[in-house]
């Protein structure tokens, strides 16, 4: 008796109607009596030679339509677990070769440097020969980085590399290496110059230190150039950032007094016209503060740990709209205060459907209605999904 694959589980496995999980299967496939997979119409050819062993993408074999359905279902199922439902819009998915922020690992054995992502459920590295999600400017640096790491990375040691596409070019940070002496310093400067980097930073265990930075490194957010601290959070694709900003803009339209909580570098602060912003990261706060002062914007900024000290309900009385963009853990403490407040609308940006749904339950129980959700898929072919939701005071 054959079984049909009817859906994709949260981690990307195919699932039959009887609840059987089948790795690598997609809706439309069937499983025969012997357990062999019979491909259906929902499959496509993976875009990368590393697909399968590489842990970077789980769903390259899924058609674009089914992938969009999967992202939407991830949000829907999280809501259902909390007894919630709402209007769920079609997911907006970033295109290939647009990822502007990546984290890689490197190891050296003899003269060979392996640079790439870890294999799924393993510490073994995939030496990247291609990457269809990475922006071309980032991928072009892999070969030069291998050569550089061959001279500064000790034998059988591992380094972490972060690359971010900034306004001035690629910002590279390498940690877990020690670079000492004039010759090594000159090698780093030459590498930065030859590859036209925006910045090259080394973290020897005491925090990142720029070893090449010809100009101040910035990222433009809402039309304002904001200094980009080493390792600071930035939306994964410019396309995804624009989609999130459009949805937030729609959610706050008509509001007269907006607060932006977990503001980061100001992704939504500037775009929304917020008059108050709070951020817990010291580096991000000072970057946001400098950009606000440079543009002479009337925004009150506060360096505040919103987990330990949320903006309390009485303080929120001066705002009719709040934007909240917490990390993956959600914002349990801050949401409890929002539920008690007189705020009329909330634009909630999330990168974790489960913690979002938990917080949504609190807001709904506090008198809000969940009006709509816009899913956004910035991490193409992964199981990761972000969203913007609009809550209105009932």
Which residues are annotated as catalytic?
351
Q: To the nearest 10°, report the CA torsion of 91, 92, 94, 96.
A: 60
How far is 289 from 292, CA to CA, in rounded Å? 5
How far is 183 from 279, CA to CA, in rounded Å? 40
Q: Rounded to the nearest 5 degrees, what angle is found at the Cα of 6, between the Cα atoms of 4 and 8?
A: 125
How far is 374 from 388, CA to CA, in rounded Å? 5
CB of 64 closer than 8 Å to CB of 96? no
Q: Residues 6 or more apart from 189 whose CB is under 8 A from it?
A: 211, 212
Give the position of tokens 């890689």: 104
Q: Which of 330, 346, 353 is nearest to 251 (CA)?
A: 346
CB of 363 closer than 8 Å to CB of 392? no
Q: To the nearest 10°, report the CA torsion of 233, 234, 237, 243.
A: 110
């Amino acid at each position: 008796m054959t079984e049909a694959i009817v859906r994709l589980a949260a981690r990307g496995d195919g699932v039959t109607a009887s609840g059987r999980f089948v790795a690598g299967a997609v809706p439309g496939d069937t499983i025969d009596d012997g357990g062999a997979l019979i491909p259906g119409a929902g499959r496509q050819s993976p875009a990368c030679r590393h697909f399968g062993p590489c842990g970077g993408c789980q769903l390259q074999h899924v058609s674009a339509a089914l992938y969009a359905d999967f992202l939407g279902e991830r949000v829907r199922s999280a809501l259902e677990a909390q007894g919630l439902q709402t209007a769920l819009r079609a997911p907006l998915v970033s295109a290939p070769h647009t990822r502007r922020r990546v984290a890689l690992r490197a190891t050296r054995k003899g003269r060979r440097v392996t640079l790439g992502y870890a294999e799924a459920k393993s510490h073994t590295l995939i030496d990247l020969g291609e990457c269809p999600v990475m922006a071309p400017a980032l991928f072009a640096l892999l070969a030069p980085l291998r050569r550089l790491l061959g001279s500064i990375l000790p034998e059988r040691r591992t380094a972490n590399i972060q690359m971010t596409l900034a306004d001035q070019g690629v910002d590279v940070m390498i940690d877990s290496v020690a670079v000492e002496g004039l010759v090594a310093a000159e090698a780093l400067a030459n590498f930065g110059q030859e590859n036209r980097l925006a910045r090259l930073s080394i973290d020897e265990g005491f925090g990142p230190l720029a070893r090449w930075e010809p100009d101040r490194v910035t990222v433009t957010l809402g039309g304002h150039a904001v200094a980009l601290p080493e390792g600071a959070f930035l939306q994964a694709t410019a396309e995804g950032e624009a989609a999130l900003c459009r949805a937030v803009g729609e959610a706050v339209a008509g509001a007269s007094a907006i607060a932006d909580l977990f503001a980061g570098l100001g992704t939504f602060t500037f775009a929304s016209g917020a008059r108050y912003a709070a951020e817990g990261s010291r580096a991000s706060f000072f970057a946001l503060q400098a950009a606000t002062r440079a543009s002479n914007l009337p925004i009150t900024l506060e360096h505040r740990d919103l987990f330990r000290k949320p903006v309390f309900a009485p303080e929120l009385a001066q705002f009719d709209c709040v934007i909240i963009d917490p990390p993956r853990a959600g914002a349990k403490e801050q949401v409890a205060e929002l539920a008690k407040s007189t705020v009329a609308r909330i634009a909630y940006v999330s990168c974790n459907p489960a913690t979002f749904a938990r917080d949504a339950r609190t807001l709904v129980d506090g008198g809000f209605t969940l009006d709509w959700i816009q899913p956004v898929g910035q991490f193409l072919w992964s199981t990761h999904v972000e969203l913007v939701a609009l809550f209105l005071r009932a």
